[in-house]
């Protein structure tokens, strides 16, 4: 790590068949959500897109079926301060070029991990324009919410005398079984859940800006981590 705190990474081996000039290509990527905008398509139509920015990611471990029971690639990004890093973190990520721990350590399942080496940088052109991906992120947390907002209940009449407006209604049973059945929808914590959206199209990839544009909205708040995986 440099004096300015920037992350130092090792370039991909020149003889690696799976590596490009910008790094190795994986089946999925992790990016940060920037916000939404719109672009024009080839036919002149306006397309709403979400801007996702990719920070430098480095291969920190290669998992194989023989050793780990499944094949995957562990990647890491963002330098962590020494006071917030454990000894095991420093030892595990040392070969990947990290002086201390990493802010993010994630995993991408791969059918084949041949040619992938620890320390190689992940390429943003792992995904290209026209790809269809599965987007996974943590939705915005909205705190405690009633059943009308949380579960879209209809509620009662809006007239003054109804005394039943945004209440959940009857929730119990009769003498038997004499209890509320498990799974009944009640007020509670809304949002802050892992949400997956399928069949999302890649509108454009801008390697010089480390940006990927995906069609439509994606779950999560700004600056949250979003996972893209090829369908």
Question: What's the mean per-residue pLDDT of the chain?
Answer: 89
| Nearest Cα residue to 92 out of 59, 70, 54 | 59
pLDDT tens digits for range 67-84: 999 999 999 999 999 999
Q: What is the pLDDT of residue 2?
A: 43
36 beta partners: 50
**Which domains does the chain possess?**
19-127+205-214 (3.30.160.810), 147-186 (no CATH)
Torsion angles phi and psi, residue 58, rounded to 5? -125, 140
Please name the helix (run of DSSP H) or strand (run of DSSP E) that holds residue 226, with its range, or none. strand 225-230
Q: What is the pLDDT of residue 9?
A: 40
How far, in Å, CA of 106 to CA of 224, rounded? 14
Q: What is the pLDDT of residue 138?
A: 97
Q: What is the pLDDT of residue 193?
A: 96
Q: What's the predicted TM-score (pTM) here?
A: 0.82
> Which ranges of the chain have pLDDT less than 70?
1-22
Torsion angles phi and psi, residue 207, rounded to 5? -60, -35
Q: Is the dihedral of CA 175, 180, 184, 185 positive or negative?
A: positive
């Amino acid at each position: 790590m440099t004096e300015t705190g920037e992350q130092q990474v090792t370039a991909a081996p020149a003889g690696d068949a799976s590596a490009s000039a910008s790094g190795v290509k994986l089946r999925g990527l992790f990016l940060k959500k920037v916000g939404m905008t719109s672009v024009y398509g080839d036919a002149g139509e306006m397309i709403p897109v979400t801007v996702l920015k990719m920070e430098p990611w480095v291969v920190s471990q290669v998992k194989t079926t023989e050793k780990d029971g499944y094949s995957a690639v562990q990647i890491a990004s963002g330098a962590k301060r020494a006071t917030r890093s454990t000894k095991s973190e420093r030892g595990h990520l040392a070969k990947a070029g990290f002086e201390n721990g990493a802010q993010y350590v994630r995993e991408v399942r791969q059918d084949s991990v041949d040619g992938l080496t620890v320390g190689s940088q992940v390429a943003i052109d792992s995904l290209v324009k026209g790809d269809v991906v599965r987007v996974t992120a943590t939705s915005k947390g909205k705190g405690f919410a009633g059943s009308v907002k949380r579960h879209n209940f209809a509620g009662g009449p809006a007239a003054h005398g109804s005394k039943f407006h945004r209440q959940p209604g009857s929730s119990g049973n009769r003498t038997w079984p004499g209890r509320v059945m498990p799974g009944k929808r009640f007020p509670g914590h809304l949002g802050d859940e892992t949400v997956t959206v399928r069949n999302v199209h890649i509108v454009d990839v801008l390697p010089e800006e480390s940006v990927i544009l995906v069609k439509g909205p994606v779950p999560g708040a700004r600056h949250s981590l979003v996972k893209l995986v090829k369908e």
